[in-house]
């Protein structure tokens, strides 16, 4: 399997896991995350949807095996629950190749790219992701309803985290239908 196909295989499950959670966030109290909450770390057994809709701003680390047995994905998940934005930086070692994958999403769109995909990324509308999730039958432990173990701490959102890379051209998957 070449590197481009491998990166797409790694990005699509991540889209299914995280993508449908980009709906409107629950309202939160105005202001940023209190400094005391930023430094306090807690273990959460949660779904990405619950984290995004909580209204909290979090920086979480995770380890999972979402693709196939023996392919472990580790990464960091940044959530700005007030604005309904997220970013996931993940990596997996597949057949001796270390692949880094990135997702940035908001209430309308999800963007994904990887180191292996060169200067090409993918854009998908949130409602399309939700439909793909239903079509894929992901109501089991591999879908957006899957609880994962996260180690989280409060985070003061930084809009730069949600900026798309200027050197990556995003192909709109909804426009190719």
pLDDT of residue 177: 62
Phi, psi of 89, rounded to the nearest 5 degrees: -115, 120
- Average of pLDDT values for 101-128? 88
> pTM score, two decimals?
0.69
pLDDT of residue 72: 79
- Average of pLDDT values for 78-86? 91
pLDDT at 5 over 70: no
- Angle of the 3-18 helix axis to the 126-135 helix axis, nearest 10: 90
pLDDT category of residue 41 using cuts at 50, 70 and 90: confident
pLDDT at 39 over 60: yes
- Average of pLDDT values for 57-61? 95
The CATH code for residues 3-172 is: 2.50.20
pLDDT category of residue 38 using cuts at 50, 70 and 90: low
Dihedral of the CA atoms 71, 99, 177, 47 (nearest 10)? 50
pLDDT category of residue 106 using cuts at 50, 70 and 90: confident
HSE on the CB side for 174, CA within 13 Å?
Answer: 14
Largest CA distance in the chain: 48
pLDDT of residue 47: 79
Tens of pLDDT, residues 42-56: 998 987 778 888 889
Using alpha carbons, select from 110, 86, 107, 83 the residue that is nearest to residue 161: 86
For 100-152, give the DSSP string: EEEEEE-SSEEEEEEGGGTTEEEEEEHHHHHHHHHHTT--STTSTT--EEEEE
What is the overall mean pLDDT for the chain? Answer: 73
Going from the C-alpha of 110 to that of each of 18, 19, 34, 153, the distances in angstroms are 9, 7, 28, 24
pLDDT of residue 103: 93
Domain limits, the chain: 3-172
Q: What is the DSSP letter of 47?
A: -
HSE on the CB side for 36, CA within 13 Å?
Answer: 0
């Amino acid at each position: 399997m070449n590197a481009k196909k491998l990166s797409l295989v790694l990005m699509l499950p991540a889209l299914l896991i995280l993508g449908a959670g980009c709906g409107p966030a629950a309202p939160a109290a105005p202001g940023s995350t209190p400094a005391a909450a930023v430094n306090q770390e807690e273990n959460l057994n949660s779904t990405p949807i619950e984290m995004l809709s909580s209204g909290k701003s979090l920086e979480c680390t995770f380890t999972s095996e979402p693709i196939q047995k023996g392919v472990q994905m580790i990464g960091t998940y940044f959530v700005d629950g007030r604005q309904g934005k997220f970013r996931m930086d993940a990596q997996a070692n597949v057949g001796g190749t270390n692949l880094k994958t990135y997702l940035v999403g908001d209430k309308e769109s999800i963007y994904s790219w990887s180191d292996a995909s060169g200067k090409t990324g993918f854009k998908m509308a949130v409602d399309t992701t939700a439909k793909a999730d239903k079509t894929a039958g992901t109501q089991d432990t591999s879908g957006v309803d899957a609880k994962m173990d996260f180690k989280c701490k409060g985070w003061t959102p930084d809009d730069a985290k949600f900026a798309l890379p200027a050197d990556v051209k995003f192909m709109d998957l909804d426009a190719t239908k």
